[in-house]
Chain A
């Protein structure tokens, strides 16, 4: 049972436009969410996180929105840049140290 889902395996966006990556979860006990960015043959790198007590967290070009009632979070990147092309994973924490990852969305930013 996939507790964290990223239903879009890929996304293409024009440079300068907004990229919106979505993530849905099923476990209402998740209390912390994170987004990671991954390049091929590299380990994921942390991007941004949000606690379940918030509904928005912003860091530069990256904003994460959390809708607890819908069990949905999204990552907005604006403006998108070619260097943002990567696979993005959302993750949720349940309890101590139990990170559950989504299947990833491959973002391609077209120049």
Chain B
């Protein structure tokens, strides 16, 4: 099946610093990628839709200046958490849809656990 690679898997940073998370589709091209956040015991919440070559689309309540998304190529999307604070600590997951014939699936990266001190 299709593979989505996410890096880093785990990061600890000081409050006020910025953290970049990368999401790569390894064996397919993804014009669209999704970024989710999951707090403990809660569902996957869609933060934004990353579009190759154009601006990302953010969900309501998500600050676009805080969560910068760049989708510079057909295989790479990055999420930068700027000026991170402890409340930004969460599990961030990227995903990319891949269609094979009439069958479409969403493939997920392995996630990034962000801890802001």
Contact = CB atoms under 8 A, between A and B. Distances in A.
A101 B43 contact: yes
A89 B49 CA distance: 20
B54 interface: no
A42 B111 contact: yes
B113 to A, nearest CB: 6
Interface of B is mostly: strand
Interface string A52-89: 00000000000000000000000000000000000001
B91 A46 contact: no
Interface string B31-53: 01010000001111010010000
A8 B110 CA distance: 25
Interface residues of B, number: 26
B43 to A, nearest CB: 4
Interface residues of A, number: 19
Given A49-B105, A97-B49, A44 B34 contact: no
A32 B109 CA distance: 21
A42 B93 CA distance: 9
Given A41-B113, A46-B106, A97-B49, 10 more contacts: A32-B104, A36-B108, A43-B109, A44-B108, A46-B107, A49-B105, A89-B44, A97-B34, A97-B97, A101-B43
